[in-house]
Amino acid sequence: MLAFGKSAGGHGYEERSMSEDLTQASDAALVVAIGRWRQDALAEAYRRHAGAVYGLAVRVLADRAMAEEIVQEVFLRLWDHPDRYDAERGSLRSFLLATCHGRSVDLVRSESARRAREEREHRQQAEAGYDLEHEVWDVIVAEDVRTALDQLPEGEREAIELAYFGGHTYRRVALMLDVPEGTVKTRIRSGLKRLRAGLAESGVRT
């Protein structure tokens, strides 16, 4: 077994050519650097995206300690398997969030007691509507996202929120909303497409 450890990046050409300004590097370049055991590249990816990952995990899990575990897991996975991110297929953020969401949902569904609690919370949340105003990261994008959400038919918005933030399957969402399963499937898909179109119209890159 050939030892080819992290210290390899500490000297020589990689150091010179890559560390100059990681804050200016593209996400794709960061992932390549992570593949070369560049801890500072992982740190930069963390700086850019950990807040969003944590925010989503907290939202789905309603539990800060578990959300922290998920954040740790998501970035360790990126460190161990940077190959799983394909820059041609989407942004690093959406990749990390998809990983985060999948794991969060697994946890939610594996803890039935928690699920019962979540259902109550998320039903209330869905009824109250999704308020992005308190969660502004970039005022303009947040505005646009809110506008696009507001323009969705009520049923579509509700289905997306219960599935995505509630961590429920579309079958459960159908039960919760008392509509046919097929309707929920369709609403989620058409709602996402409508959101994308709406966001594209207002110039948000998706």
Partner 1 sequence: MTHDEVQDLLGAYALDAVDDDERALVEDHLAECPRCRAEVHDHREVAALLAHGGQDAPEGIWDRIVGSLEEAPPALRLAPMAIPDPTADGTTSTGVNPLSASRRAPRRVVAALAAAAAVAIVAVLGVQVRQQNEQIDDLQVALDDPLSAAYSSALTDPASKVIELTSADGATRLRGALADDGVGYLRADELPELPDDRTYQLWGAAGDELVSLGVLGADPGIVSFPAAAYELFAITEEAAPGVVTSANPPVVAGSTA
Q: Pick from 3, 91, 75, 73: which is nearest to 34 by CA?
A: 75
Nearer to partner 1, 117 or 146 (CB): 146
Nearer to partner 1, 32 or 117 (CB): 32
Query: Closest distance between partner 1 and the C-beta of residue 31, in Å?
Result: 6
Query: Closest distance between partner 1 and the C-beta of residue 127, in Å?
Result: 17
Query: Closest distance between partner 1 and the C-beta of residue 10, in Å?
Result: 11
Whole-angstrom distance, CA of residue 191 vs CA of residue 170: 13
Phi, psi of 129 (to 5 degrees): 90, 160
Q: At what angle do helices 39-61 and 64-80 cross, to 10 degrees?
A: 140
Nearer to partner 1, 117 or 141 (CB): 141
Query: Closest distance between partner 1 and the C-beta of residue 89, in Å?
Result: 5
Token pair of 79 as six digits: 């460190």
Cβ distance 42 to 75 under 8 Å? yes
Nearer to partner 1, 54 or 123 (CB): 54
Question: DSSP letter string over 164-202?
Answer: HTT---HHHHHHHHTS-HHHHHHHHHHHHHHHHHHHHHT
Whole-angstrom distance, CA of residue 29 vs CA of residue 18: 9
Nearer to partner 1, 126 or 164 (CB): 164
Query: Closest distance between partner 1 and the C-beta of residue 87, in Å?
Result: 6
